[in-house]
Amino acid sequence: MSVGEFENLVPLRLPTDRYRSASHPYSRAVYRFSLSEELADDLRKLGVRHHASLFMILVAACQTLFARYSGRTDIVVGTRCAGNPANSLVLRSQVTGAQPFESFLPAVRKTVLAACAGGNVPVETRVMVVQGEPPEDQVDLAVAFTESTGPLDVTIAYDTELFHAETVERLAGNLTATLVAVADDPSLPLSELPPLAESERRRVVEEWNDTAYAFPADRTVHELIAEQARRTPAEPAVIADGRTLTYAELDDQAGRLAARLRAAGVGAESRVGIMQGRAPHAIVSMLAVLKAGGAYAPLHDSYPEDRIRWVLDDTGATVLLTDRAMRAKAERIGVPLIVVDEPAGGPVAPAPEPVSVHPEQLTYVMYTSGSTGTPKGVAVTHRDVVSLVWDRHARSDAHQRFLFLSPHAFDAATYEVWVPLLTGGQVVVAPAELTPRELVRIVAEHGVTAVMLTAALFRLFAEESPECFAGLREVWTVGEAPSMPAVERVLRRCPGTVVLNGYGPTETTTFATTQVLTMEHVRSGIAPVGRPTDNTRAYVLDERLRPAPIGAPGELYLAGDGLARGYHGRPGLTAGRFVADPFGSGGRMYRTGDTVRWNGKGEIEFLGRVDNQVKIRGFRVELGEIETALRRCPGVADAVVVVHEAHGTRSLVAYVVTEGGAAEEELRRSLAERLPSYMVPSRFIAMDALPINANGKIDRRALPDPGALPETDVVAPRTDAERVLAEIWSDVLGIEPVGVTDDFFALGGDSILTMKVISRARARGLRLTAKDLFVSPTIAELAEAVGEPAPVPGAETAPETGAE
């Protein structure tokens, strides 16, 4: 291999069982096994036919196997040659799935000969394939073959800090299966190696998906709540500070609002928009729409008016349910309104006669980001929601009093509202600004048993006051991979509280898998997304829809009773994402776009995305939608958006090529008119041109590091308040120095970091709110608005973290 061939060389790193820390201790173990004399002879005969040594065949088999386990095609491993035993030499191969093994072998032969002839450059590698005994080097994994006239001895040396013994044993079994297969038929495509043993196939397809559990598939959401109201009419159903609705009151109020909706023309599967704050009347509104036979389309109050109009137009909604707090904005939308917390004009409508609704009719249409620049509405039925609620864990006592914290336009609210109500429990409505101290109060006053937080909010609460979860039975972290240090803090401070990781796209009705997180997961550094819920099946498949071996990456496909109907009004998109289930009896499965793998315990581990979709603050975001919106802004020639991670926080950064120098504030304002606030990038970096790779595509790896701020004139703090705020901003944002004229959000601030600033400012004697920071986003403006810091009488045990 010539020096030029080392360009863009990335030594192979296999997926590990434990998180690879920067300075983990090395602990070596070996696993030994033998290949039969008959198999060794068959492989030698294969080598003779292709002018390759036995070692070359073994290298080709190992690289094929490593490609399957790593999900990569450019496989770079190390070796040692007899003439140069001191250095690790590189063996680099392109492993393409359609290529037959016998066609791949000559390329491997050429690579091995070149390396051992000295035409190679020593490069540090983490995975090795060698002849003789495995090296003593501190590598992740080394496979060593010792030839003899009889069986072929194989030794796998591995780092026990990275791999479990059973993982290495499974790897050995798959290597043996690969060699047996190519000895029998060397024309097999590389994509079919290793062949999956029938016992392993049965485990990943059937045993780990044995989730069938009876549920009332013939009932609707509102029927089940009406039955609960008849059983326990005086029991509380919805609890908020200063107000409680019993089951009888909830059912009656929803029935009367349903009568108004039917009078407004709402019928079977009519869509009704809901734009309200988090309050008891929002739950009444959702239930009323269902009683009227319709389906609700939840709208977040932060959505720009154009997006709200677009969603209502796309759903065909003819009515918008709102409240007094949002009436002014709702009136500008131009759709007939019902203001649910104002008295109805005229006589009070009687509760309507029950409407016949089939369980396959819609419950809601919830919109998520779309890669083409257009949001897509996920259509969820009554049967889907009932299946979710009848999961045995969902019906446990831990969920008897669930906190309604999520925006109702976020699918976690489906769980927070319908799980307790359909099981005879209570929904406790969270206040507008939830802090750790407020959470402690709510748990104590209202007996909340479970709460669900986005991963970012969970981390923030765990950092500020982990003991705030102590009174809960369960705390869920959802939306993104949780911070393991945050999990550890909560488990240590709150030994009686269970921490769960919940995973599921909107297309599978909120949750598809769950995992109880333990100190064992903390030690491994890996938080699995878990096992499938009741009546859900999870398949990890390769590009040809074949089950991936345990430990090997594949795309996650989900099937079962919770699968949504599809995308509202988008049959083509529905057909592309909801595909035939080859393992069931004529059903469908949803292609998630998530790359995952099974671990040896039957838990699914998330590895990444196969497309351009990310999670920001728990919201699913298509970067392509933001890029499309940016390119539509006046003066923008091209744009690319990436996710930047710093100090445990993820933010969006836009790289923009402008014509005429469009200002950042103009771009931010233009995007705010088109996109929800969580999709507006925190940073905009001007570029003369976007970097292009050899394939003519944008080279995202060549984009400048957004952590390196452009040099600007920094205006130093002048007052005590400014100095306190500058210190806090610098610490929270990880930027130094911070000037008093810098914009918090332009520096990468978002709603989660806003909460951190508020918490630390209050601890330093500055009483400010989230609204203050949004209205006055510079230190100078904010210091003037809040005044000088007041003396702090004592340390607060649970710092407040005011959130909007």
| Burial (CB count <10 Å: 0-12, 13-18, 19+), residue 564 | buried
Cis peptide before 737 (omega within 30 of 0): yes
pLDDT for residue 708: 60
pLDDT (mean) for 431-443:
92
12 near 92, Cβ under 8 Å? no
| Pair type for strands 401-404 and 426-429 | parallel
**Between residues 9 and 294, which one has the greater pLDDT?**
294
Higher pLDDT, 84 or 378: 378
Q: Average the pLDDT over 165-176 and give the result.
A: 95
CATH class of 720-786: mainly alpha
The CA–CA distances, whole Å, from 406 to 417, 466, 555 equal 10, 20, 28
3-195 matches 720-786 in fold: no
**Is residue 285's pLDDT more than 90?**
yes
Assign 3-state DSSP to the chain and report helix, strand, coil percentages, each to 5: 35, 25, 40
Euclidean distance between CA atoms 617 and 638, whole angstroms: 26
Q: What is the pLDDT of residue 802?
A: 32
Question: Among residues 436, 415, 439, which one has the least CA distance to residue 427?
Answer: 415
- Determine the 3-state secondary structure of 457 from DSSP: helix
- Give the pLDDT mean for 181-210: 94
> Count of CB atoms within 10 A of residue 138's CB?
10
Give the mean pLDDT of 262-289: 96
Show the DSSP H helices in 145-197 as ranges. 165-184
* Span 227-357 CATH architecture: 3-Layer(aba) Sandwich (3.40)
Mean pLDDT of the chain, nearest integer: 88
CATH no., domain 3-195: 3.30.559.30
Q: What is the mean pLDDT of residues 775-785?
A: 84
* pLDDT value at residue 697: 55
Beta strands in 196-347 (DSSP E): 236-240, 243-246, 271-275, 295-298, 319-322, 337-339
What pairs with residue 453 in β-bridges? 477
Report the pLDDT value the prediction gives residue 397, as an integer from 0 to 100.
92
Q: How sure is the predictor about 519, in pLDDT bands with cuts at 50, 70 and 90? A: very high
121-169 pLDDT, tens digit each? 656 788 999 998 888 888 999 999 998 878 999 999 999 999 999 999 9
β-bridge pairing 588-598 and 554-560 = antiparallel
Between residues 295 and 646, the one the model is more confident about: 295
DSSP string, 463-529: HH-GGGGTT-SEEEEESSPPPHHHHHHHHHH-TT-EEEEEE--GGGSS-SEEEEE-HHHHHHT----
Give the confidence band of 799 by pLDDT, cuts at 50, 70, 90.
Answer: very low
Distance CA 305, CA 673 (A): 7
Mean pLDDT across 623-638: 79
Quote the pLDDT of residue 500. 98
Contact between 678 and 617 under an 8 Å Cβ cutoff? The reply is yes
pLDDT at 350: 61
| pLDDT at position 95 over 90 | yes
Bridge partners of 181, per DSSP, are none
* Residue % of the chain over a pLDDT of 90: 57
pLDDT of residue 134: 87
173 CB neighbour count, 10 Å cutoff: 15
Average pLDDT on 699-710 reads: 73
What pLDDT, on the 0 to 100 scale, is given for residue 796?
42
Sequence spans of domains, the chain:
3-195, 227-357, 613-702, 720-786
Closest CA to 69 of 225, 173, 209, 222: 173
Structure tokens at 27: 């602990």
- For the segment 606-623, the average pLDDT, to the nearest whole number, is 76
> Between β-strands 152-159 and 243-246, what pairing exists: parallel, antiparallel or unpaired?
unpaired
613-702: which CATH topology? Answer: GMP Synthetase; Chain A, domain 3 (3.30.300)
Structure tokens at 345: 């004009």
Least confident among 184-193, 223-232, 415-424, 717-726: 717-726
- Residue 180 reports pLDDT greater than 90: yes
Task: Sort residue 551 into left (φ over 0), alpha (ψ -120 to 50) or beta.
Answer: left
Q: Is 519 exposed, middle or buried (0-12, 13-18, 19+ CB in 10 A)?
A: exposed
Between these two residues, 361 and 652, which has the higher pLDDT value?
361
Q: Is the peptide bond before 194 cis (omega within 30 degrees of 0)?
A: yes
- Which pLDDT belongs to residue 801? 34
CB neighbours (10 Å) of residue 429? 24
Q: How many residues are listed for the chain in this entry?
A: 804
Q: Give the start-end residues of each E strand in 351-454.
A: 362-368, 376-381, 401-404, 426-429, 450-454
**Percent of the chain with pLDDT strictly greater than 70:** 90
> pLDDT of 474-501, one tens digit each?
999 998 888 888 999 999 999 999 999 9
Exposure string over 338-347, b if 16+ CB within 10 A, otherwise e? bbbbeeeeee
pLDDT tops 90 at residue 512:
yes
pLDDT digits (tens, 9 = 90+) for 333-344: 999 999 999 887
- 158 in Cβ contact with 44 (< 8 Å): no
Structure tokens at 164: 């479990």
Q: 634 pLDDT band (50/70/90 cuts)? A: confident
The reported pLDDT for the residue numbered 735 is 78
Which segment of 273-287, 348-362, 443-457, 559-573 scores lowest on mean pLDDT?
348-362
Reported as a pLDDT band with limits 50, 70 and 90, residue 252 is very high
- For residue 773, what pLDDT band results from cuts at 50, 70 and 90? confident
